[in-house]
Chain A
Amino acid sequence: MSEETLRAEIAQLQLELERAREELAAREAELVASAKLVSLGSLLAGIAHELNSPLGALHSNHDVLKRALGKLQVILEDEVVDETELDELRRVVRALVGVLEVNDLAVHRMVGLVRSLRSFGRPDRSERAFIDINEAIDSTLALLEHQLRDRVEVVRDYDALPPIDCYANQINQVFMNLLVNAAQAIEGPGRITVRTRREADSVLVEVEDTGVGIEPDTLQRIFEPGFTRKGGRIGMGLGLLIVRQIVDRHHGEIAVRSTPGTGTVFTVRLAPLTRSEQPL
Chain B
Amino acid sequence: MNVPNQNATVLLVDDELMVARSLQSLLQLETDWNVLTFSEPERAIEELDRREVDVILSDFLMPIMDGITMLERAKEKQPFASRILLTGYADKANAIRAINEAGLYYYLEKPWDNAHLKLVVRNAVERARLIRDLDGRIAELEQARGELRDIRGKLIRAFL
Contacts and interface: CB of A to CB of B under 8 A. Distances in A.
A98 interface: yes
**Is the contact region of chain B dominated by helix, strand, or loop, or is it mixed?**
helix
A239 interface: no
Interface string B16-38: 11110111111011100000000
A149 B15 CA distance: 11
B102 interface: no
A33 to B, nearest CB: 30
Contact of B21 (A63, A101, A149, A150): A101
A7 B95 CA distance: 72
Contacts of A96: 25
Contact of B88 (A53, A60, A64, A105): A53
Interface stretch (A87-95, A174-182, A272-280): A87-95
A68 interface: yes
Given A60-B23, A99-B22, A149-B63, A92 B112 contact: no
A186 to B, nearest CB: 15
Given A52-B110, A53-B16, A60-B114, A102 B21 contact: yes
Contacts of B22: 56-57, 60-61, 64, 98-99, 102
Given A49-B88, A52-B88, A63 B16 contact: no
Given A49-B88, A67-B114, A95-B29, 4 more contacts: A52-B111, A61-B25, A64-B25, A98-B24
Interface of B: 16-19, 21-26, 28-30, 61-63, 88, 110-112, 114
Interface of A: 49, 52-57, 59-61, 63-64, 67-68, 71, 91-92, 94-96, 98-99, 101-102, 105-106, 109, 149-151
Q: Sorted from nearest, which 7 A-B pairs have the closest CB atoms?
A: A95-B29, A98-B25, A57-B22, A53-B16, A57-B18, A56-B111, A60-B22
